[in-house]
């Protein structure tokens, strides 16, 4: 018994656990409340539905985290998702290009769009918010041009399967999300590049003088963000069975909220994959709960905005306290 208590105490005193304890508590409280509020909430089908819904947001948040950890932000993720989904849909419906090559082309396009933002930010010193805001508007226009202002439908079954199919009764998008979290977790925790991301975001000058190519790290952070956004865009188009010119619109707010609630610091140098997952999960639970309670979509926007503000305030308070 004493051994079990000592193990439990060690877990609760762990710095990683303390960082997530707040959001875990909120998730538990919301789940308990919704269990009594709705009989459909804790059913296996609804849980899988929540995970399916957050798959796109979770992948976007993984990419957003790299930009935020370097002390920046990436407002282009929603637009890149829209453009990449449109490129894939256009290739598989209007050309003889297969699905896999079309997805690879979209991922390369996403990396290139992220590289443009990262290159200009790292070389010119322009604030990331301004640079990515301009790119967000530009890429949304590109998305409309690719779609010619209307949805691209008649997607092949092989593509819609990526968004609507399942393997072993688990939706395919969940596999993509879990795979993305695993890869990002390995990059951040086990590679020198991951350590360079934390160092650059924590103190740019110190990282530069210690021999880290900080400009290259920032550039690559936005490239990774672009790749994640492109993958999310392909899954989004597959899930909707069409590529919409408005695809991914405002999705950057969901990604930012997931990162903020998951403990990714807006000043850079702090964050972890587990926290990002919990942040995305909480956003999904809240969205699902509001839908089950038939709350108006207008009020849902209000709630999301309040959540983002509170998350940022908590992040600032937590950083100052530590």
Domain assignment of residue 220, yes or no: yes
Q: Could you tell me if residue 24 is inside a domain?
A: no
Q: Label residue 264 by pLDDT band (50, 70, 90).
A: confident
Inter-residue contact 318 to 270 (CB < 8 Å): no
Are 69 and 271 in contact by the 8 Å Cβ rule? The answer is: yes
Tell me how far CA of residue 58 lies from CA of 48, 92, 155, 179, in angstroms: 14, 25, 24, 11
- Domain interval for residue 153: 43-252
C-alpha distances (whole Å) from 227 to each of 58, 108, 155, 210, 289 are 13, 7, 22, 29, 31
> Taking residues 213-217, what's their average pLDDT?
91
Q: What is the pTM of this model?
A: 0.89
Q: CA-CA distances (angstroms) from residue 64 to 4, 74, 187, 208? A: 38, 6, 14, 23
Stronger pLDDT, 34 or 111, i.e. the higher one: 111
Q: Say yes or no to pLDDT of 13 above 60.
A: no
In the chain, the number of structural domains is 1
Q: Which residues of 200-230 are buried (b: 16+ CB within 10 A; e: fewer)?
A: bbbbbeebeeeebebbebbbbbbbbbbbbbb
Res. 58: pLDDT tops 60: yes
The pLDDT of residue 206: 85
Taking only the tens place, the pLDDT of each residue in 218-263 is 999 999 999 999 999 999 999 999 899 988 888 898 898 888 888 8
Residue 5 included in any domain: no
The contacts of residue 313 (CB under 8 Å, 6+ apart) are none
- Residue 6's pLDDT band, with cuts at 50, 70 and 90, is low
Q: What's the whole-number mean pLDDT along residues 49-66? A: 92
Q: Specify the pLDDT at position 185.
A: 92
* DSSP, residue by residue, 116-180: HHHHHHHHH---HHHHHHHHHHHHHHHHHHHHTTS-B----HHHHHHHH-EETTEEHHHHHHHHH
**What's the pLDDT at 205?**
86
pLDDT at 253: 87
User: Within a domain: residue 104?
Assistant: yes
Q: Which of 205, 182, 186, 177 is closest to 269 using CA atoms?
A: 205
- Name the residue with higher pLDDT: 121 or 266: 121
* 19, part of any domain: no
121 domain residue, yes or no? yes
DSSP state of 29: H
Mean pLDDT across the stretch 263-271? 81
Distance of CA 264 to the CA centre of its chain: 12
Residue 165 lies in a domain: yes
How far apart CA 218 and CA 11 sit, in angstroms, is 34
Sign of CA dihedral 91, 182, 52, 65: negative
pLDDT at residue number 143:
94
In a domain, residue 307? The reply is no
Q: Quick one: pLDDT at residue 62? A: 93
Q: What b/e string do you get for 14-44 counting C-beta neighbours within 10 Å, with b at 16 or more?
A: eeeeebbeebeeebeebeeebeeebeebeee
For residue range 149-165, list pLDDT tens digits in order: 889 888 899 899 999 98
pLDDT digits (tens, 9 = 90+) for 89-133: 999 998 888 899 999 999 999 999 999 999 999 999 899 999 999
């Amino acid at each position: 018994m004493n051994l079990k208590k000592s193990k439990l105490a060690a877990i609760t005193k762990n710095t990683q656990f303390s960082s997530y304890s707040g959001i875990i508590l909120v998730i538990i409280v919301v789940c308990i409340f919704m269990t009594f509020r709705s009989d459909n909430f804790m059913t296996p089908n609804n849980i899988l539905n929540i995970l399916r819904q957050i798959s796109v947001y979770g992948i976007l948040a993984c990419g957003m985290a790299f930009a935020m950890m370097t002390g920046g932000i990436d407002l282009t993720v929603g637009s890149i998702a829209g453009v990449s989904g449109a490129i894939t849909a256009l290739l598989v419906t209007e050309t003889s290009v297969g699905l896999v090559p079309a997805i690879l082309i979209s991922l390369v396009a996403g990396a290139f769009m992220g590289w443009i933002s990262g290159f200009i930010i790292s070389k010119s010193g322009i604030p990331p918010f301004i640079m990515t805001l301009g790119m967000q508007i530009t890429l949304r226009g590109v998305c409309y041009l690719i779609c010619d202002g209307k949805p691209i439908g008649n997607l092949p079954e092989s593509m819609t399967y990526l968004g609507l199919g399942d393997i072993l009764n688990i939706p395919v998008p969940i596999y993509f999300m879990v795979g993305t979290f695993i890869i990002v977790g390995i990059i951040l925790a086990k590679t020198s590049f991951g350590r360079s991301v934390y160092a650059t975001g924590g103190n740019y000058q110190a990282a530069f003088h210690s021999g880290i190519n900080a400009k290259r790290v920032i550039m690559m952070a936005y490239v990774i963000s672009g790749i994640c956004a492109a993958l999310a865009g392909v899954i989004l188009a597959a899930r909707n069975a069409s590529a919409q010119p408005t695809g991914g619109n405002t999705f950057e707010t969901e990604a930012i909220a997931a990162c903020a609630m998951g403990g990714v610091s807006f000043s850079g140098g702090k964050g972890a994959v587990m926290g990002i997952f919990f942040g995305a999960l909480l956003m999904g639970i809240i969205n699902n709960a509001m839908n089950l309670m038939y709350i108006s979509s207008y009020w849902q926007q209000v709630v999301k905005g309040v959540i983002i503000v509170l998350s940022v305030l908590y992040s600032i308070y937590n950083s100052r306290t530590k």
